[in-house]
Structure 1
């Protein structure tokens, strides 16, 4: 049986705070849309451990 190593993704408290500040400064109305479009795509290198 081959086991894959599970990778644990976890943001620090300061990263969560930064994301929330960016969200409130953005034009997005829904956090989910903001997170998927901006954090997961455009800011992927700044938040490499962002949860999916």
Structure 2
């Protein structure tokens, strides 16, 4: 199971959607210590440059 320590703010990654590779950068990683999930909870926010 993933935990907040598996993610690094500013780290680039790629996802595939509709057969296209979309480059993203992890903008925000927040730890939610009070989350009931084993290992805690964490929201992730990713961003990318807009296409011209």
TM-score range, shorter chain: under 0.3
- Structure with the largest fraction of strand: 2
- Structure with the largest fraction of helix: 1
What TM-score, normalized by structure 2, do the two folds share? Answer: 0.28
